[in-house]
Chains A and B, each alone.
Chain A
Amino acid sequence: MEVRRVRREPILALRDLQGNILPGFRKDRQHFVFFRIEDASAARRWLASLADRISSGDEVLHAHRTWKASRMRLGREPDNAHFLFLNLALSAGGLAKLLTTAELDEFDDDAFKVGLAARSVYIGDPKTEGDPGHAASWKFGGPGKPVDLLAILASDDRPWVEEETASLVTAGDQHGLAHVHTDVGDVARSPSPGHEQFGFRDGISELAIRGRHPEPPHEFVVPRSIPKGKGFEEVRKQFATPSKRLVWPGNVLFGYPRQDPNDPTQGVATDFPAGPKWAANGSYLVYRRLRQDVEGFRRFLAETAASLQQSLGPDAPQPDKLAAMLVGRWPSGTPFIRSPGADAKIAGEAANYFGFDGPLGPPLPGDPAPPGAPDPNGRIVPLASHIRKSNPRDLGTDIGPATRTPPRLLVRRGITYADGEGPDADRGLLFVAYQSSIQNQFEFLMRTWINNPDRPEPQAGHDPILVQRPGGTALLRLAGTELRIPLPGGLVIPTGGEYFFAPSVSFFERRLRG
């Protein structure tokens, strides 16, 4: 076997990779349209014909720049700089219909090949048929409701994206596909834009894919903005901006060096492709339709706060503070560790500038809030809090030093949704995440950390937000005592989903045409 280690960040084929992977659509309205392939030949021809319409990374980057320039010029969000993006992804079932089983077998990831429904219990979803969240009850993707193709349409212009969706469904119908389901993601259908349904600002902490533009002078695709001053050296090595941790492209995209788990500044390339040759510049896409029980969440907070009041008296947190502890952030996104008394409403990039082992580096220019204190034992932010279970940051974990964590993380592109109005409305998050290994990344996080009470930290308990099954607990270390709070489970309920592969643009141009 040959292993090559590289330090120079590679050129990214921006014209070939789909734009929701990098840089991300970031549009207020996103439709996720699911199809089943009925006639493979017709579907293959039609999908090949869509190649020119797929929004590449290059195209989406240009669109974002144009939009930003308009905003700078106008001093407000432009209403005349709309774009409509389209991306496509195929499930293993879809690929098997369009290609050969042998080609599908070239994918190494077994989770992708068997699909999300078959892995549902494995990653912690309810195991009993009839329980909310069990795959049998899903709107799509569960047994008897397979989906082969996912089309993502995104725009800030609501009527436009609705028209295009209708037109795509009609065209699909005429070319061997059957429409199964559409999810409508809308940032406006949330407590406030950029906040998920429980009221917390979302998408603060992102992965930044290392890599350079194809054209000279080959600048970094994700710009770097960590100060150059003394003390920031280590931060600069690992972050593009305070909110964006760098990761080598091979942890998201096929065909690139992966991150050296022991040295984040180094990429590792091998001769072992994780899929067919044409998979280069593609990425696995995990899609989960997650309903959020907002009333249940509030009830859980109120009941738990009341119970803590009985045991702790005045030291007990009120429901809003308890929520911030269990999430790890205040609703504004301010990290609890930097502001444990009340929400300091830390704005901008500084909202993600913290570690659990102490400050990441010197204070950022203009950041007024004090850095957080070291908290390895979870006396400030519970070890079971959502952000600690899904990303322990600068602390070592059960899999070794902190450098091993970023290769396990995901490029998240989710968006809120809500069907209906009032307390009984079906509302939640359309979870979209890209990665180069579903087993090592999404499933690892779900099975090994979120749903395991002893990992990454012993005795921490379950992730109070994401745990599905009842019977879980979370450890709170408050006022010098240790308390285990019972978790109801099922506050976030899967109601559909599938594992997909988002191939390169050239897959549609060449492989499907060929």
Chain B
Amino acid sequence: MASKGAAPSTYTPTPTKKTRPPIFSDSDVDWLRPDGRGFHQCRPAFFRTGAVNSAAGSAYAEFGNTKVIVSVFGPRESKKAMMYSDVGRLNCNVSYTTFATPVRGQGSDNKEFSSMLHKALEGAIMLETFPKTTVDVFALVLESGGSDLPVVISCASLALADAGIMMYDLVAGVSVSCLGRNLIIDPILEEETFQDGSLIITCMPSRYEVTQLTISGEWSTAKLNEAMELCLDACSKLAKIMRSCLKEAASASQD
């Protein structure tokens, strides 16, 4: 699917001027990333909207081996059992195919992803534009190749835009792993298995607002700031790729 259409573009952040010189320059380090990328280099990002016909909106995203599909249904009437609400509801679900992970069925370990997707998106959606109704966001990870959650979140916000749900801005998600002294952006599955810490940021770049931030592992302040800057820069670039994908789809439908 990635082979046709526009060439995949990357969203590698540009180095900030303030960063201190790295302890090792990239060439001195005795290990390379398994896929040959630099530490601060992202995988090519590929997006396509309209992946599922029956959904109100949908999107497919492919970042290296990570492949996800998200469909959005609604706004439709909330279930009868739900209490009246003058703002809309957002219902998110992230699931893995049984063949998504190296060991079959391992994806069900990530139970918290659904609530994290919800938290990342709810701040961006104008819920008051669809009172008494629910929007369902269903994400399916076809292949888990690392950085699954950020890809799911970015893809979901694209699917919401495709469905015509009013949002303040697109939500882009990027993660950084900390391995020893090095920060590596957009980690793949192997790197995630051995990471000492991880940081996931999802943000609305035009508003420069962080909708969700999750950190695990031990971080010093300097490292944390460096990682956050790196992520925010990558987020804004990723959002540009997402926006161009939407524009492409819109101009294609006009022709």
Partners in one complex: no
